Amino acid sequence: MTDIIKEKFPGVITQEPLSKHTTFKIGGPAEFFYKSKTTDDLIKAIKTARELDLPILLLGKGSNILVSDDGIKGLVICLETEGIEREGSKVIVEAGLLLGRLVDWTINNSLAGLEFASGIPGSVGGGIRGNAGAFGFELKDSLESVEALTPDNRRITLTKDECKFGYRDSIFKHTDDIVLTATFNLQQGDKEKSQALVKKYALHRASRQDYSIPSAGCTFKNIPDQPIGKMVEDLGLKGKRIGGAMISETHGNFIVNKGQAKAQDVVDLINLVKEKVKVKYQIDLETEIQLVGF
Ligand SMILES: Cc1cc2nc3c(=O)[nH]c(=O)nc-3n(C[C@H](O)[C@H](O)[C@H](O)COP(=O)(O)OP(=O)(O)OC[C@H]3O[C@@H](n4cnc5c(N)ncnc54)[C@H](O)[C@@H]3O)c2cc1C
């Protein structure tokens, strides 16, 4: 099988540590690891993997996942599709582009509406799947449509309504459809005003959490009027450590990797917080981070 895969996926790497490709810097090896740089190549790779019955895991920027210490069987496809083009007020962008780069591009082209996403370290595709948001805005707000690949390999266009966006949710979390490109409809902007907004958001983020410490962002989905960070703080869990994983001392909804954290250390901390919150507040927390390979 390995020979067939090497032939069908030129440049494929075997046993690639996924800790190198996640913001948590945690995760065992991918059996096969392949980078797609164009949407056509991505579609071809997915079709081929499906023909070979090879399990597929898509990886954007790896900023919302916890990969198990045992790694991933099958093929991990890392999206490096980064094309971007403009048609009037519309911007059509490939799924692998870093949100921050999309924001910079739109500001340089005097388009406004995506500034809130500047500090979210994910890709457009990963962001759409989870309807990434911050500061009261979500990606869906300025989205017009999404081009996707269905499980039976059809290339379709979904309107914003058909994407069924919710809080950190979309249809892509409930189907095996793959986000290929997204079309945003933006407003005419003022470069300086947009840059000032980006700066304001960056300062706010820096005041809450040091982003240079590896993490995967908020561990749990927030609940209206009940900030999880505050609950964790009131439970005295800030700074709680299991192995190399620790609940952030500054942001109770962040788990950070203090060095050699194992995925299991993070899972144990997640379970500890869930248990304590359930006992004290009778609330079942839902993890925002995707656990893969467990
Ligand atoms: C420091 C830090 C701060 C963060 N702040 C925020 C924030 O303010 N707001 C927020 O919403 N999130 C935040 N996040 C979380 C994260 O950045 C977002 O969820 C982001 O959208 C994930 O994108 P990604 O490309 O990294 O996805 P990945 O982690 O690579 O993948 C996540 C899931 O999406 C799937 N996926 C990836 N690409 C595609 C695709 N093209 N089609 C279909 N499925 C796909 C993967 O298979 C996986 O299941 C933060 C994370 C960190 C580390």
What are residue 245's phi and psi, to 5 degrees?
Answer: -100, 145
Does residue 57 sit in helix, strand or coil? Answer: strand
Q: Using CA atoms, how far apart are residues 232 and 235, in angstroms rounded to an integer? A: 5
225 DSSP 8-state letter: T
The pLDDT value given to residue 1: 76
150 DSSP 8-state letter: -
Q: Using CA atoms, how far apart are residues 234 and 280, in angstroms rounded to an integer? A: 10
112 backbone φψ class: left, alpha, beta (φ>0; ψ -120 to 50): beta
Decide: 27 in ligand 1 pocket, CB within 6 A. Answer: no
Cβ-contact 245, 256 below 8 angstroms: yes
Interval 140-192: pLDDT, tens? 999 999 999 999 999 999 999 999 999 999 999 999 999 999 999 999 999 99
Q: Using CA atoms, how far apart are residues 19 and 22, in angstroms rounded to an integer? A: 6
Cβ-contact 23, 126 below 8 angstroms: no
> Looking at ligand 1, which residue's alpha carbon is closest to its atom 36?
126
Distance 90 CA to ligand 1 centre (A): 23
Q: Using CA atoms, how far apart are residues 267 and 240, in angstroms rounded to an integer? A: 13
Decide: 182 in ligand 1 pocket, CB within 6 A. Answer: no
The distance of Cα 134 from the centroid of its chain, to the nearest Å, equals 14
Q: State the Cα angle at 99 between 93 and 100, rounded to 5°.
A: 125
Decide: 123 in ligand 1 pocket, CB within 6 A. Answer: yes
CA gyration radius, the chain: 19
Interval 230-283: pLDDT, tens? 999 999 999 999 999 999 999 999 999 999 999 999 999 999 999 999 999 999
Distance 58 CA to ligand 1 centre (A): 11
Distance 197 CA to ligand 1 centre (A): 22
Beta-strand ranges (E) seen in the chain are: 13-17, 29-36, 56-59, 65-67, 72-79, 84-87, 90-94, 111-112, 133-134, 137-138, 143-149, 155-159, 178-185, 187-188, 215-218, 241-242, 245-247, 254-257, 290-292
The pLDDT value given to residue 224: 85
Distance 78 CA to ligand 1 centre (A): 13
> Looking at ligand 1, which residue's alpha carbon is closest to its atom 52?
217
Listing DSSP states for 174-218 in one string gives: TS--EEEEEEEE-EE--HHHHHHHHHHHHHHHHHH--TTS-EEEE
The pLDDT value given to residue 157: 98
Domains of the chain: 2-79 (3.30.43.10), 84-193 (3.30.465.10), 211-292 (3.90.78.10)
pTM (two decimals):
0.96
Decide: 248 in ligand 1 pocket, CB within 6 A. Answer: no
